Amino acid sequence: MTDAQPFWVAGRPRTSDTVVTVHSPYDGSVVGSYCVPGPADVADAVAAADAVQPAALATTAAQRADALMYVSQQLSDRSEEVAALITSENGKPLMWSRIEVNRAVSTFRWAAEEARRWSGELQRLDTEPPAAGRMAVIRRFPHGPILAIAPFNFPLNLVAHKVAPALAVGAPVVVKPAPATPLTALLLGGILAETDLPAGMWSVLPLGNAETAELVTDPRLPVISFTGSETVGYAIQSGQPDKHVILELGGNAAAVVLGDWSSDEDLEWAASRIATFGNYQAGQSCVSVQRVLVDDSVYDRFLPLLTAAVTALPTGSPWADGVVVGPVINEAAADRIESWVEQAVAGGATLLAGGGRDGTTIAPTVLADAPPDAAVSCEEVFGPVMVVSRVSGTADAFARVNDSRFGLQTGIFTHDLKTAFRAQRDLQVGGIIIGDVPSFRADQMPYGGVKASGFGREGLRSAMTDFTHDKVLVLTGLDL
């Protein structure tokens, strides 16, 4: 198949005789095909990342920033093309694909800006008499080349959140996109190839699990940035104790509606936001709303608003105008989600909305009073399913949020400033969103979780810090 997309080794396109076809999650139609790297290609990519380190470190801030801005501008100029490709291989409605492209444009732009600010700090050392005349220059340098393993749910922007900060600090990066959605990352490789970065600074290798395992264990890739399943992430971490491993593993995010959020306008806003962001990306986001905790004082007013808002969400073809909820990634995911809903209902949960299925499309689903040990309550559904529960006051709500092995982000609908600060102190999560859903993310802010949601932080400056270490230069004999 001559039209198969090439992969990228050290900034150059390569092909192979092994070709894989990508199908649409929605209707199974052929989206495209790509060439699979062989062992020699993988070896060349890693060797290039290792060898290019001196040249990568020698790039100027302007060179790195200009390359990152070029990528940002190209994604902006080609936004409709890129959004269509995301929808084709991922299945998310076009409205969400367009938002993802816009976010990636911002992500690369922020990386360019941070690359220009990446300067280090000065520290006086003459705070004690023996250190008179001494000053420390503290700068950060890469741990080494980075293995970036990306998931299927954001095939552009989650790749961007690994590639952009790596290039911003001058670290080579080897990208392993998700097998279900490699075409978007390969397109990004084509844009990167048009920059003047040293060729070995990046590769894009669409590999299977066995080949990826070899990359994970390669000592020339001392940093692993992984976004994906908890099982795989923990296996990487435990198997590579001598590497710097950054994990973003997901969650079962809670949205809390407290008693002071009580006007009709308040409740309608919360219902609309929770309905949308419990089901955007078909619920395939680690910060989509899964648990909805509602104070007793507003529960009976809020529940019908939420149910109506969920029921009204346009669901169907990701190409249709106005569709908000499309398919999940494949039949296996749909089977699992459907079985979890059935198990919850069999265990005593009340089905208030949805519950149906058409192929890989799951109707947006609302369950009330699901058992706390049901999978829809305590695991990550990663589908368009929400569980609603009553709580009695702030203390009960916060205890319920923390009663989870996950801890990524939480949304708190409250007007009380003291409650907001209490939430930041007491909730065992990486981020608290006041007045909105946990799904909010600004791409420049620190992003990541605690407990089973992972380790480390994304967000441009935070990721740049995570990819690097301090190196101290002490100057002596200065007139300070």
CA distance 201 to 192: 10
For residue 156, report the phi and psi dihedrals to the nearest 5 degrees: -105, -55
378 among known catalytic residues: no
Choosing from 89, 114, 286, 378, the catalytic residue is 286
CA distance 391 to 389: 7
CA distance 400 to 413: 15
CA angle 304, 310, 314 (to 5 degrees): 145
Length of the chain: 480
286 among known catalytic residues: yes
β partners of residue 140:
470
Choosing from 114, 248, 380, 458, the catalytic residue is 248
Question: Residue 46 contacts by C-beta under 8 Å, 6 or more apart in sequence?
Answer: 145, 174, 215, 218, 220, 221
CA distance 437 to 439: 5
Amino acid at 143: H
319, 94 contact by CB (below 8 A)? yes
* DSSP-derived secondary structure for 340-379: HHHHHHHTT-EEEE---EETTEEPPEEEES--TTSHHHHS
Question: Residue 334 contacts by C-beta under 8 Å, 6 or more apart in sequence?
Answer: 327, 328, 357, 359, 360, 361, 362, 383
According to the 3-state scheme, what is the secondary structure of 428-447? CCCEEEECCCCCCCCCCCCE
SS3 assignment, position 141: strand
Instruction: Calculate the alpha carbon distances from 263 to 88, 149, 226, 292, 420 in Å.
Output: 41, 45, 42, 18, 19
β partners of residue 470:
140
| Greatest distance between any 2 Cα atoms in the chain | 77
SS3 assignment, position 79: helix
Q: What residues are annotated to the active site?
A: 248, 286
